[in-house]
Chains A and B, each alone.
Chain A
Amino acid sequence: MLWVYGVGIVLLFAAGLYCLLATYNLVRAVIGIELMIKAVTLFIILAGFVTGRTGLAQAFAITLIVIEVVIMVVAMGVIINVYKHTNTLDVRNIRNMKG
């Protein structure tokens, strides 16, 4: 049974990583990060289930979810600002930014 969950975690993480590496769209890059975080959340919960420490695993998972939300909100704020300034979400068009 562990194997099924393990394969699911690896495949979900691979899909997120591929999305992050292959896309040029800023929103889709954030979606890739989100998929990878989901794989990590499942991994933490699975580790808690296997070791019998579900309470500790849930505490870590809740912390991870809170941080995930903050990352998403700030990333979306950045994306909307980038769109306002450049009128595009394509990373190829914002490579000449200062800094």
Chain B
Amino acid sequence: MNDMVLNSVLVAAVVIAGVYTVMTSRLLHSAIGLAIASAILAIVIFKLNSPLAAVFELSVCAGLISAIFISTISLTGRVTPEELSIRDKERFSRFGILPVLIILVLVALTITRGYIPITLNLPAPPVENNVQVILWGSRFLDLFGQIVVLLAGAFGVVTFFREK
């Protein structure tokens, strides 16, 4: 029971951090909210028996991507307080509906909970469940694809910042 409460609190914290990321007017606060959401999500993933994916989520998503976001924000200038106050008013009209929308979706899901037939046709138990064996064995082509995507991204960024 305690574990269920803890899991529910963690999932709720991820959603709250995500909504804060969307709602806040400062981009820097958005990036920090996203990092917090990633860090809490890493705990959730760890509790779902996926420690390697949790480590990736924490180090890459909460660390590297946050650093990239903050670097980009610092490279793209700053807003004046006047611009910020105008933006705040404009943002409220566009994003003020989001918490209401989230609550409505939550209520709708709660009401229809008993009416949605969820039947899980679970497959046979896995032969191999070790992520290292799967990643280097049956999903080796994925690794090749990852390397290609990484190289494509690196060449893309080099092309963007090439001096004429």
A interface residues with partner B (beta carbon < 8 Å): 1-8, 10-12, 14-16, 18-19, 22-23, 25, 27-28, 30-32, 34-35, 38, 41-42, 45-46, 48-63, 65-74, 76-81, 83, 87, 89
Q: Chain A at the B interface: mostly helix, strand, loop or mixed?
A: helix
Number of A-B contacts (CB under 8 A): 213
Residues of chain A within 8 A of B64, CB atoms compared = 69
Which range holds the interface residue count of chain B?
35 or more
Q: How many Å lie between the Cα of A58 and that of B152 in the bound state?
A: 23
User: What would be 30 A-B contacts, judged by CB atoms less than 8 Å apart?
Assistant: A6-B109, A8-B15, A10-B105, A12-B14, A14-B102, A15-B15, A15-B19, A15-B98, A15-B102, A16-B18, A23-B94, A25-B27, A27-B27, A34-B65, A35-B21, A38-B37, A38-B61, A41-B45, A46-B48, A49-B48, A49-B50, A50-B122, A54-B48, A54-B129, A63-B142, A63-B145, A69-B153, A71-B153, A79-B76, A81-B160
